Amino acid sequence: MTSQNPKLAVLVKGWPRLSETFIAQELVALQEAGHQFDIWSLRHPTDTKRHPLHDRFKGQVRYLPEYLYQEPQRVWAARAIAQRLPGYAEAYRVWRHDLRRDPTHNRIRRFGQACVLAAELPDATQALYAHFMHTPSSVARYAAIMRGVPWSFSAHAKDIWTSPEWEKREKLQAATHGAAFGATCTAIGAAHLRELADDPARVDLIYHGLDLARFPSPPDRKLRAANGPFHMISVGRLVEKKGFDRLIDALALLPKTLDWHWTHIGGGALGDVLRDRAMAAGIADRISWKGACDQPEVIEAMRSADLFVLPSRIAEDGDRDGLPNVLMEAASQLLPILSTPVSAIPEFISSGTHGILSDDDPTALANAMLALANDPETTAKMARAAYDRLLAEFRMDPGISRLSDRLNALCLETV
């Protein structure tokens, strides 16, 4: 159990979130490794389900004001306390400098949340750790300056590739109240952030990996017949960077002789648009839209599928995947993988060895799906190779051990 006055505070965008299993996995593992901390969330939950993993977290979950106008008394009382903290004037100066370059309501809200965080943190707090380099790290940075404690972050994908360079650079420089360290889960992300840091050692490459204890052993898969039913599955939010619009176009190109079905799991803003796209393409009757599902439902669906498809691409605003944990989850169930060579996906999947990485245009995706359907033996061999690589190189434990060491050292900085 977490103590009444934990030394560490962890900031997240929202808790719990079905789409951020990797964060829940990490925080539960850190807790089980002996770390005591509370979670401070910038947003209230919106998902109607939760993973069993979320229930394993035993600390307190505290919610900052999602919008300042919703809790004016709390915000004003917190600011009065924050103004008496030794670092408030410097935090205010830093925030004003940021606001001139980013004059948005979002930037104002982050400072208000930082005042609440700084005012309400237990006196024993010695360090802050934020998941995502953009808004949660801004709140952590301002509050850390007010309280005079070190802070750190874990960066993932959208926060790296859509944040302005000036902001990333200043969060990685000691002279501008940057993080004591930053962890990121891909080699491509680590290389980019190290170029912006005053010291490359400030950035650690720490793969999330997979906690295999949470997953059943893979099913005893029988080699499917090349001309048999072909059930494909995708798990991911219905957003631009996941590429599901192009996947629907690709499915429409598959020959009528292939007995295929595609199941999608996940929510997202493009749901209606994509369902209409499938209807217009005349393939709606071959698609099942399951919506948001919890982890047991996802794994059960993977165990009965023949191919996992994730056609990731770079969105118009630069957003992209990092190394989606769902690829490792598919590998854990010996489910063959078709994806794209975007961002860090090739760090886990070598095309032709552990799965197929296709171009994301519909014709290329359709050709890849058809080739995998027609060659079950090679497809099964690649799935086995991905499973073996998962066991050898992408377990969770090494990353948790490294992150644990860094957080322990962070908390000692103020002792």
pLDDT in tens, 209-268: 999 999 999 999 999 999 999 999 999 999 999 999 999 999 999 999 999 999 999 999
Residue with tokens 């039913």: 229
CB atoms under 10 Å from CB of 222, counted, come to: 8
32, containing H or E segment: helix 21-32
pLDDT at 352 over 90: yes
Where does residue 123 rank: exposed (0-12), middle (13-18), buried (19+ CB within 10 A)?
exposed
pTM for the full predicted model: 0.88
- Predicted confidence at residue 19, as pLDDT, reads 85
pLDDT, the chain, mean: 95
Which of 1-15, 327-341, 346-360 has the lowest average pLDDT? Answer: 1-15
The closest of 129, 131, 135 to 105, measured between CA atoms, is 135
Q: How far apart are the first and last CA of the chain?
A: 23
CB 2 within 8 A of CB 119: no
Spatial distance between the Cα atoms of 142 and 140, rounded to a whole number of angstroms: 6
**With pLDDT > 70 as the criterion, what percentage of the chain qualifies?**
99
- Predicted confidence at residue 48, as pLDDT, reads 85
CB atoms under 10 Å from CB of 368, counted, come to: 23
Taking each helix axis as running N to C, give the angle between helix 295-303 and helix 325-332, from 0 to 180 degrees, rounded to the nearest 10. 50
Q: What are phi and psi of 337, to 5 degrees?
A: -125, 135
Confidence of residue 414 (pLDDT cuts 50, 70, 90): low
Spatial distance between the Cα atoms of 111 and 199, rounded to a whole number of angstroms: 27
- Could you tell me the two tokens for 119? 């005012």
CB 190 within 8 A of CB 182: no
- Predicted confidence at residue 136, as pLDDT, reads 97
Spatial distance between the Cα atoms of 209 and 390, rounded to a whole number of angstroms: 8
Mean predicted confidence (pLDDT) in 275-283: 97
Confidence of residue 6 (pLDDT cuts 50, 70, 90): confident
Confidence of residue 412 (pLDDT cuts 50, 70, 90): confident
Where does residue 52 rank: exposed (0-12), middle (13-18), buried (19+ CB within 10 A)?
exposed
Mean predicted confidence (pLDDT) in 396-407: 95
Task: For CA atoms 140, 142, 146, 150, give the dihedral sign.
Answer: positive
Spatial distance between the Cα atoms of 348 and 328, rounded to a whole number of angstroms: 8
- Predicted confidence at residue 2, as pLDDT, reads 44
- Could you tell me the two tokens for 303? 């165990």
pLDDT at 413 over 90: no
Spatial distance between the Cα atoms of 168 and 188, rounded to a whole number of angstroms: 15
Mean predicted confidence (pLDDT) in 305-317: 96
Confidence of residue 1 (pLDDT cuts 50, 70, 90): very low
The answer for residues whose C-beta is within 8 angstroms of residue 309's C-beta and 6 or more apart is 232, 233, 234, 247, 262, 338, 339, 365, 369
- DSSP-derived secondary structure letter, 282: T
Cα–Cα distances in Å, from 268 out to 292, 333, 408?
9, 25, 37
Confidence of residue 283 (pLDDT cuts 50, 70, 90): very high
